[in-house]
């Protein structure tokens, strides 16, 4: 078996950027955060990487760095990751991590929102449209789409909290008392 080496940082980036991005997109669910997190991974990893280096060792290092970056992201957000990362960066697919019952819960929350709020969230997060695409579909300005999305997310969060209290669901979080 021949061991392949990366000659420089550019080759490392070109060969792995799509995998790292897909890994992050599958875990955070939105393009902007996935792009930011993938950038963080490469900034952290490429700084310390000594080249030339074996491809499998570099991929293992990028995966370990991805875990660290993702954990920091969840800590900053006050959230947590329920799905494990794969053991091998080559196994990354663009399929998102989904918790059991999440789809039903999302439909319940979306169903409780006014039609315009529901539609902007569907476009942005279920259909993967950009803000500009969503604004064009809705026939509004991009600025208006940003405001609408922000208000929809706030309303969805309030709706989610109120249904958690009614259903006794804590979303995996521990409550004091």
Backbone dihedral region of 128: left (phi > 0), alpha (psi from -120 to 50 degrees) or beta? left
For residue 173, tell me if it sits in a domain: no
Pair 133, 124: CB distance under 8 Å = no
Beta bridge partners of 5: 54
Other CB atoms within 10 A of residue 122 CB: 16
The full 3-state SS of 52-75, as one line of letters, equals CEEHHHHHHHHHHHHHHHHHHHHH
pLDDT tens track for 4-51: 887 888 888 888 889 899 888 888 878 888 888 999 988 888 878 777
Query: Per-residue pLDDT for 173 more than 60?
Result: no
Boundaries of domain holding 46: 5-91
Retrieve residue 47's tokens. 């700084």
* Residue 97 to residue 155: CA distance in whole angstroms: 24
Domains held by the chain: number: 2
For residue 175, tell me if it sits in a domain: no
Q: Which of 41, 66, 91 is the last residue of a domain?
A: 91
Question: Are residues 64 and 84 both part of a single domain?
Answer: yes
Question: Are residues 10 and 66 both part of a single domain?
Answer: yes
Question: Are residues 53 and 119 both part of a single domain?
Answer: no
pLDDT tens track for 53-66: 788 888 888 888 88
Question: Are residues 79 and 133 both part of a single domain?
Answer: no
pLDDT tens track for 65-112: 888 888 888 888 765 555 555 555 555 554 555 566 667 777 888 888
Question: Which CATH number do you get for residue 36?
Answer: 1.10.1740
Q: Which of 67, 91, 115 is the last residue of a domain?
A: 91
Q: Which of 68, 91, 114 is the last residue of a domain?
A: 91
């Amino acid at each position: 078996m021949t061991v392949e080496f990366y000659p420089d940082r550019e080759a490392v980036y070109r060969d792995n950027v799509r995998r790292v991005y897909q890994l992050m997109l599958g875990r955070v669910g939105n393009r902007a955060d996935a792009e930011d997190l993938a950038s963080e991974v490469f900034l952290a990893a490429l700084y310390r990487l000594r080249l030339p280096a074996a491809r499998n060792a570099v991929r293992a290092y990028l995966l370990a760095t991805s875990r660290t970056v993702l954990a920091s992201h969840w800590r900053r957000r006050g959230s947590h990751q329920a799905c494990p990362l794969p053991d091998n960066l080559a196994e990354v697919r663009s399929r998102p991590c989904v918790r059991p019952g999440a789809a039903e819960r999302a439909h319940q929350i979306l169903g409780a929102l006014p039609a315009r709020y529901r539609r902007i969230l569907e476009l942005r997060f279920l259909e993967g449209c950009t803000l500009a695409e969503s604004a064009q579909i809705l026939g509004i300005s991009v600025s208006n789409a940003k405001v609408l999305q922000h208000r929809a997310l706030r309303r969805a969060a309030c709706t989610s909290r109120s249904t958690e209290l009614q259903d006794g669901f804590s979303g995996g979080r521990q409550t004091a008392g």
